[in-house]
Structure 1
Amino acid sequence: MHILAYLTGYYFYVAVPLSLCHGCIVEVLNFTADQVAEFYVIGQERMSVIEHEFWGYLKPLTKLGWCEWAGAAIFLWGWIHQRNCHAILGSLRQRKRDRDKHVTPTGDWFNYVSSPHYLAEMVIYAGLVIASGGTDLTIWLAFAFTVANLCFAAGETHRWYLDKFEDYPRDRKAVIPLVY
């Protein structure tokens, strides 16, 4: 079962970004072909030094709408909490003598749910849905798969915590505070 879950995750994290690029892949390939052709025609010695105009990098940001900014903020919020939760999990068994001992994680969103890193992943995907304006079916499907997959895994993890630790908080939910 673990290898199947691993392969599913591997496939998901390769396929989703590729599926999101379907609308621009022709443009990317044309740009790449033009750059390669220019390199061969002009030659490496006569290629101009690349000049960086920072306003050129920032200008597209001024054209973003409220959906993109709100989605980016939600994405960042989820990413920060996911990073914090992974740091908490990583710090539980740092010492060699503690490697065989299981400890209840606390701090950040662990005070509310058993699998806050899964909740943070869901928040990240919700940010992508909002940034897309809610119009991209592929992002909605990725979000739905992520929520379903992580809710299932969080339920299993939550049951393990309840079985393993007698003092585990009974009011703590699996992945969605106050709900599940």
Structure 2
Amino acid sequence: MNRGGGARWGSPAMVACARCGAGPKAPRSGGGGGGGGGGGGGGGGGGGGGGGGGGGGGGSRRFGWLLPARPAWALQELPSLLVPLGLAACGGAVAAARPNRVLLGCFVLHYAHRALIFPLLIRAGKPTPFFTFVLALLFCVFNGYLQGRSLTAYAAYPPGWLGDSRFITGFLGWLIGMAINIHSDHILRNLRKPGETGYKIPRGGMFEYVSGANFFGEILEWFGFALACCTIESLAFALCSLFILGSRARQHHKWYLEKFEDYPKDRKIVIPFLY
């Protein structure tokens, strides 16, 4: 694939990994959407449904004003939806190419769900500190521009790219990862029934294999996206997601082991059968 004019390794594309931590992710479950979520594209705050465990989104005033969780979540994720769409609307021949439109559509679809649908599904949860909100917002603006600019101005694909094994494999990885991510979120949201209190062990789906099933889904999603795109920008985002979400999953796994004596000892942290 020819990428004339694309970002170099010393360019802002590689800054994505450094900026990725701006919006730390917390367990995405019914307990709230208050935590910042720039890193891998989203994560609710709080350990809702009893399954969130360690690292729930906090509402401490030491980080400034507190914002309602749902609107804060929607607003901070929205730039990753609107910025790429704006770039596509202003783009030229590169943006009009079919592979570019399909790949940009994958990115936009994720954030359409994350910004417009996900906030309606989560419970109110704890409020979001303004500082956390701003960091997550800035990351989403930055990454939305990075991925959007790459796919609307620089990435030039050869004829037949949509039939290439790299695209097909990557697209399937993206699709399966997104499905795992959404399904795992559903499990977390429904751990605790109305009127119930306390914490519960997540079961079902990929939670039978890893503690961070939602994180695994999102990591798989963005590495699939990176393979389908074959751009430095998408790879930077995937690596960023791996480092941030892998760290979160490790914290949650440790919390589960400490909290529940009967927690399945054969569950891995975030990569099934490996880690």
Whether the TM-score (by the shorter chain) exceeds 0.5 is yes
Which residue of the partner structure matches residue 11 of structure 1? 138
Q: Is the Cα–Cα contact under 8 Å of residues 174 and 222 in structure 2 kept in the other structure?
A: yes
Give distance in 2, aligned partners of 1:4 and 1:79.
Answer: 20
Q: Which segments of 5 or more consecutive residues in structure 2 lack a partner in the other structure? A: 1-21, 25-35, 37-131, 155-159
- With normalisation by structure 2, the TM-score equals 0.47
Which residue of the partner structure matches residue 174 of structure 1? 269
What is the CA distance between 1:19 and its match in structure 2? Answer: 0.5
- Percent identical: 28
Give distance in 1, aligned partners of 2:153 and 2:217.
Answer: 33
Which residue of the partner structure matches residue 137 of structure 1? 232
Which residue of the partner structure matches residue 94 of structure 1? 193
What is the CA distance between 1:138 and its match in structure 2? Answer: 1.0
Q: Is the Cα–Cα contact under 8 Å of residues 161 and 167 in structure 2 kept in the other structure?
A: no
Number of equivalent positions: 141
Change (3 A) 1:26 1:128: closer
Give distance in 1, aligned partners of 2:185 and 2:258.
Answer: 22
Q: Which has the higher contact order (CA 8 A, sep 6+)?
A: 2
Amino acid in structure 2 at the alignment position of 1:132: C
Amino acid in structure 1 at the alignment position of 2:162: L
What is the CA distance between 1:82 and its match in structure 2? Answer: 0.9
Which residue of the partner structure matches residue 164 of structure 1? 259
What is the CA distance between 1:4 and its match in structure 2? Answer: 5.9
Matched, 1:81 2:81: no
Q: Which segments of 5 or more consecutive residues in structure 1 lack a partner in the other structure? A: 28-61
Change (3 A) 1:24 1:155: closer
What is the CA distance between 1:13 and its match in structure 2? Answer: 3.1
Matched, 1:146 2:272: no
Q: Is the Cα–Cα contact under 8 Å of residues 150 and 233 in structure 2 kept in the other structure?
A: no
Based on CA coordinates, which of the two structures has the bigger radius of gyration? 1
Amino acid in structure 2 at the alignment position of 1:77: I
Give distance in 1, aligned partners of 2:23 and 2:143.
Answer: 18
